[in-house]
Amino acid sequence: MNEQLPALVVIIPLLFSFLIFLIGFIEKRTPYFLLLISSALTSIFSWKLLIRVIKVGPLSYHMGGWEPPWGIEYRVDHFNGIVAFAVSFVAFLVILSFKERVEREVDPPRWSQLYALFFAQLCGLLGITVTGDVFNLYVLLEIASFSAYSMVAIGKRGAEFSALRYLIFGTIGACCYLLGVGHLYILTGSLNMVDMVNLLKNITDSSALRVGLCLLVIGIGVKMAFFPLHTWLPDAYSYAPSTVSAFLAPLGTKVAGYVLLRILFWIFKPSFPSEKLLLEILGWMAFTGAFFFSFMAIVQRELRRAFCYLLLSEISFLGMGVASGTLDGLRGTILHLINDVFMMGCLFTSLCAFIHQFEKEELRYLEGLGILSPWVSLGFLMGGLSVIGIPPLCGFFSKWYLILGTIQGKKWHLLVGILVSSLINTILIFKVLEKIYLKHPHLESLKKLPFTFLVSLVIFSISLFVLGGLASTIVKKVIDPWIYTLGGF
């Protein structure tokens, strides 16, 4: 079975998404339990896959028995192994929490449809993570994207327009990515990533190659909501059902960030001549975006919209780490990507629980939450403190590497961007925590918090401490082995 693990983490969500949809015509409540059990299986298989990669090195699975580069290869190394585990485990925690919330904010005929879309989304995200074929990645990117558009459209009034704008931006991004793949295919004659890496070594820098790289980066930049290609995200995640926001926010943009790193540092390598200028441009864009998003976050009145801009500022941190062009900067970028999956999962699941209890999203209704709902408050506390980088939570260690990377590369503007943006984000988090713990309750009564929400929030909070404690181990056992295969550091 170990040899089948790369395929199983993709096939299980794919098959169960169809099964859940079909069973929904017969019975309305069974699909959720199928979703929960199959997501747990996917998490277990992705964990086994990561452990096997750490022990024996990269794994390759040939779909249909076709040898690469002619067939589609699923290739799992240290980097996408840990990304796949983070995505599947956080997806499981979010799914564990939201049964009662889905049943309250979505009409019963749509329950199984939404559950099927959740798993189609997970199938696409995990497929993007483990595939070793650039065109197969495009197909899986579209599976994830179209399921996301549909989930957003199920939301409150105004969600349809937000989903339409999301679709337009997503289609433009997908077209740019596909055109970039076309440029590389014309130059190399291959779609397999490993084969493409070997062929690019013998191809001199050219306009076609530079255009191909730029198109790939623009396409993925739209998908990860990189500044200034971000305008679809705040409305899409704010108008979507709260459960959809809790699922998409930690996962979608981070998987796109993984693809960006795979393109910039694995397919093209840091030594590619045009990449230095591209990284410089990305650095200034991320620098500008970090300030813009942090300021936008602190002026929002709705908590979900504020957290959307906080999410975007975290994406800018990834961009600044990439642009540092240093070993510690890349370490920090990868570590922050993994940490941010859990941090955003914790914050948005806490937000989902808060909405479930109060049916409100305004910041003022947080007043006295520490007394009224201590478990939801715990999620906000742990997630918020980790985002701003308070030790021993995981956010501190990844930001520390990002700071070291900017100093090592003498990118002083990026150093200022990381520090000042983090301080501005601290204002938002402390404003939230002040209302939770230092204000009198705004509401006298609240709905009971389902036990599954409590379990999910506690596991998320513990995970942030565990990731912080294991930061050096993750760097040595997972991140460094991948980085040292790149060359150029």
Token look-up 């995505």 returns 87
Residues 246 and 269: their CA atoms lie apart, in Å, by 34
DSSP H helices, 359-450, are 369-372, 374-388, 394-408, 412-438
Residue 438 confidence (pLDDT) above 90: no
Residues 59 and 56: their CA atoms lie apart, in Å, by 8
Closest CA to 223 of 267, 255, 191: 255
The tens digit of pLDDT for each residue in 57-113 reads 888 888 877 877 788 889 898 999 999 999 999 999 999 888 778 778 877 778 788
Structure tokens at 163: 């989903």
Return all residues near 123 (Cβ < 8 A) that are at least 6 apart: 10, 13, 14, 17, 140, 143, 144
404 or 155, which is more confident: 404
The tens digit of pLDDT for each residue in 270-286 reads 667 777 788 889 999 99
The tens digit of pLDDT for each residue in 254-271 reads 999 999 999 988 888 766
pLDDT class of 444 with cuts at 50, 70, 90:
low
